[in-house]
Amino acid sequence: MKHLNLHTPPERRLTVMALSIALLVAPGTSLLAADYQEAPQLAEQVKAGTLPPVEERLPENPFVLEPIESVGTYGGVWRSALKGTYDNGWIRRTVAYQPLVAFSLDWSEVVPNVAESFEVNDEATEFTFHLRKGHKWSDGEPFTAADIDFALNDIAKNPEYKGEKAPNFDWDNMTGEVIDETTYRITLERPDGLLIQRLASVDGPFLTFAPKHYCGQLVPSVNPDADKLAAERGFDSWSQALEKTCFTYFTDEKRPSLNAWQQATAYDGLNQIIEFERNPYFYKVDTAGNQLPYIDKATMLQSENVEDILLKVINGEVDFSNRHFATVTNKPVIYDSQESGNYRLTSTVDARMNHAILQLNLNNEDPVKRALYNERDFRVALSLATDREEIVDVIFAGQGKPFQAAPRPESPYYHEELATQYTEYDPDKANELLDGLGLTERNDDGIRLNSAGDPITIQLYTPSDQIEFNDMSQLIVNQWAEIGIQLDQRNVERSFVYERLHGNQHDMHIWWGDGGLGDALLDARYYFPFNRESAFALQWAQWFNNPDSEGGNEPSEPARKQMELYRELKASGDPAQQAEIFKQILDISAEQFWVIGTVLPAEGYMVVNKNLGNVPDSQPYAWLYPQPAPMGTSQLFYKN
């Protein structure tokens, strides 16, 4: 496997993607059982008889991981930090990403992971996964197709289960069946060409998360006394107990896993350090036959305060992370302390295509506002009145470039027109456009009056925990005032922003430009009314997801066209075709100019202990691609 080359021309990568998903992926070179080595402390346990020998613990065909740099040596602790009690995201991004199929390092393809191989039919309705023979959970119990079936049928599809489950899966559409112990097949009613990517995303491990022999105790279909057991453990219902035990909260450290490091302390918000210890049954080996992981232990300090984490970073107490602290603001400090903190910086390419997307609410309840916001020229005028260079200069120290809400240049779906139109700063033209809309009257403060004769005021609530949104908005307030548009910006608690949003009470919403790289297809929120985050047209998005739902509203013609195209896209199993359809969607986006983008984020960074080996120089940074996990964190090792 090559290092991520993000500068490959998009067209070329497109083909790579197309190939890799369609093909049946072959397993790596197999090694002889006798070649396997293990960590010294495991060897001791084997010697002491408390652990079976390594070849018995590994599956018949272990996953052979080709190291990024070299074969490593055993030992060491990987230290990082969590913020607060709800930071399971970092755990999922680091030690708990063992889905059936995984993204490749450069996010260009989906490769087998827990599954030794997989097949997808051309219609994108039948997905067959071949598991590894002799694959074991971290407690030594066998991992079989029954475990996947348990996750799918007994949990995800169980109407009695009221807890959270992996979002974004259309569980009703999926039927799973156990073909044999190592073969599992998922059949879809409606085709979904994106399912395999979804399974490789951060949500994918849901299917490999719940050992039936452990979690089954809490499910009535497996254990009739589940409710009683749940009550014994102090829960209201089995469903609650199961959620806590087998979902991604990591609150139950006893749940066996397939991960490189098995959780040793519960992440219950009370433990101050969460520890993960080497899983003796981990199924991956390096090319030399050493059972992974190299590193003995991963520890995550739970901190309440990002500044505390930052201090630990610059003091060299964090080995490999970018969680929470790796912001533009903190970069100078982190950059300066590389020497004293004994770390270096590697880069990440933000999957986000924008530092902030401004979404005018096209479904605004106020007819005057709605009419105005639906004027494309109005949105264009606002875009032209936005001095993006100033934003780049002031807030991002000159790093980044003007960009609209469009897939990133590195992305296979890059759409130049959508990305660059109206990014120039041209207040004169903006004024012209507004005059052209008949908004010529102004009040004493120079604010234009709308058709009802009121000054045009757009309310914007920025979440108070995102200081960059606040700063950017303040600049934009001044910039827009130049063309006679008043932006009334307030900093509020984030939940309040969402409270307004979900009540469709917002004039405008500001958020990161998610969905800029490989996740563009899976998260198309800014390209058309796609999901609950498409704040520019929530009612249309709701209609798209469920035409019968309350609060849904029939979208405009172009939006409907995009939705149809997206359905078509999903029905296709062919990535090339998907990309083609997606381009059509983006064409419409460009034409409609739904939302206003600001600045394309420059490279992000990651703090890496200088002694740490097998670290990729660059990696995409996204939620669906749970950076850094797809690199295979089990290959990290300490030099010397």
Q: How many residues bind other proteins (CB under 8 A)?
A: 91
For β-strands 604-609 and 343-350, DSSP reports them as antiparallel
Is residue 619 involved in binding other proteins (CB under 8 A)?
A: no
**Reduced to 3 states, what is the DSSP secondary structure of residue 360?**
strand
Overall residue count recorded for the chain in this entry: 640
Q: Which of 22, 288, 311, 481 binds other proteins (CB under 8 A)?
A: 311
Stretch that binds other proteins, among 17-25, 164-172, 182-190, 371-379 (CB under 8 A): 164-172
Q: Which of 262, 291, 299, 321 binds other proteins (CB under 8 A)?
A: 299
Is residue 464 involved in binding other proteins (CB under 8 A)?
A: yes
Q: Which residues ranging from 360 to 399 are in contact with other proteins (CB under 8 A)? A: 390, 393-399
Give the burial class of 434: count Cβ atoms within 10 A of its Cβ; 0-12 exposed, 13-18 middle, 19 or more buried. buried
Q: Which residues ranging from 495 to 514 are in contact with other proteins (CB under 8 A)? A: 495-499, 502, 511-512, 514
Instruction: Specify the long-range contacts of residues 336-339, CB closer than 8 Å, at least 24 apart.
Output: 337/313
Stretch that binds other proteins, among 216-224, 370-378, 544-552, 627-635 (CB under 8 A): 544-552
Is residue 173 involved in binding other proteins (CB under 8 A)?
A: no
Q: Which residues ranging from 227 to 256 are in contact with other proteins (CB under 8 A)? A: 234, 236, 240, 243-244, 249, 251
- Calpha distance 508→528 (Å, rounded): 16
Is residue 610 involved in binding other proteins (CB under 8 A)?
A: no
Is residue 277 involved in binding other proteins (CB under 8 A)?
A: no
Q: CB of residue 38 vs other proteins: minimum separation in angstroms?
A: 25
DSSP 8-state assignment for residue 154: I
φ, ψ at 229 (rounded to 5°) = -60, -40
φ, ψ at 494 (rounded to 5°) = -60, -40
Is residue 332 involved in binding other proteins (CB under 8 A)?
A: yes
Token pair recorded at residue 101: 């199929």
Stretch that binds other proteins, among 360-368, 402-410, 425-433, 461-469 (CB under 8 A): 461-469
Amino acid identity of residue 153, one-letter, is N
Is residue 268 involved in binding other proteins (CB under 8 A)?
A: yes
For β-strands 284-286 and 63-65, DSSP reports them as parallel
Q: CB of residue 100 vs other proteins: minimum separation in angstroms?
A: 20
Q: 474-506 as b/e, with b when 16 or more CB fall inside 10 Å?
A: bbbbebbeebbbbbebebeeeeebbebbeebeb
Q: Which residues ranging from 70 to 89 are in contact with other proteins (CB under 8 A)? A: 79, 84-86, 89
Stretch that binds other proteins, among 282-290, 425-433, 531-539, 592-600 (CB under 8 A): 531-539
Q: Which is nearer to other proteins, 51 or 274 (CB)?
A: 274
Q: CB of residue 567 vs other proteins: minimum separation in angstroms?
A: 18
Give the Å distances, CA to CA, from 546 to 159, 445, 521, 551.
Answer: 19, 44, 19, 10
Q: CB of residue 154 vs other proteins: minimum separation in angstroms?
A: 17
Is residue 336 involved in binding other proteins (CB under 8 A)?
A: yes
Q: Which is nearer to other proteins, 153 or 299 (CB)?
A: 299
Is residue 493 involved in binding other proteins (CB under 8 A)?
A: yes
Is residue 435 involved in binding other proteins (CB under 8 A)?
A: no
Is residue 449 involved in binding other proteins (CB under 8 A)?
A: no
List CB contacts of 517: < 8 A, sequence separation 6 or more: 107, 349, 351, 353, 407, 408, 410, 411, 620, 622, 625
325, containing H or E segment = none
Q: Per-residue x/- mask for other proteins, residues 556 to 595, rule CB under 8 A?
A: ----------------------------------------
Q: Which is nearer to other proteins, 8 or 553 (CB)?
A: 553
The residues facing 103 across adjacent strands are 110
Q: Which residues ranging from 82 to 141 are in contact with other proteins (CB under 8 A)? A: 84-86, 89
Q: What is the rounded (10 degree) CA torsion for 42, 43, 48, 54?
A: 80
Closest CA to 142 of 65, 32, 256, 274: 256
Q: CB of residue 289 vs other proteins: minimum separation in angstroms?
A: 33
Is residue 8 involved in binding other proteins (CB under 8 A)?
A: no
Q: Which is nearer to other proteins, 482 or 493 (CB)?
A: 493
Alpha helices in 345-426 (DSSP H): 367-373, 376-384, 388-395, 416-420
Q: Which of 63, 72, 523, 593 binds other proteins (CB under 8 A)?
A: 523
Q: CB of residue 226 vs other proteins: minimum separation in angstroms?
A: 17
Q: Which is nearer to other proteins, 102 or 460 (CB)?
A: 460
Closest CA to 519 of 533, 506, 501: 533
Is residue 446 involved in binding other proteins (CB under 8 A)?
A: no
Is residue 167 involved in binding other proteins (CB under 8 A)?
A: yes
From start to end of 152-296, where are the E strands?
Answer: 174-180, 183-188, 261-263, 273-278, 284-286
From start to end of 365-499, where are the E strands?
Answer: 401-402, 457-463, 486-492
Give the burial class of 139: count Cβ atoms within 10 A of its Cβ; 0-12 exposed, 13-18 middle, 19 or more buried. middle
Is residue 301 involved in binding other proteins (CB under 8 A)?
A: yes
Q: Which is nearer to other proteins, 63 or 528 (CB)?
A: 528
571, containing H or E segment = helix 557-571
Is residue 49 involved in binding other proteins (CB under 8 A)?
A: no
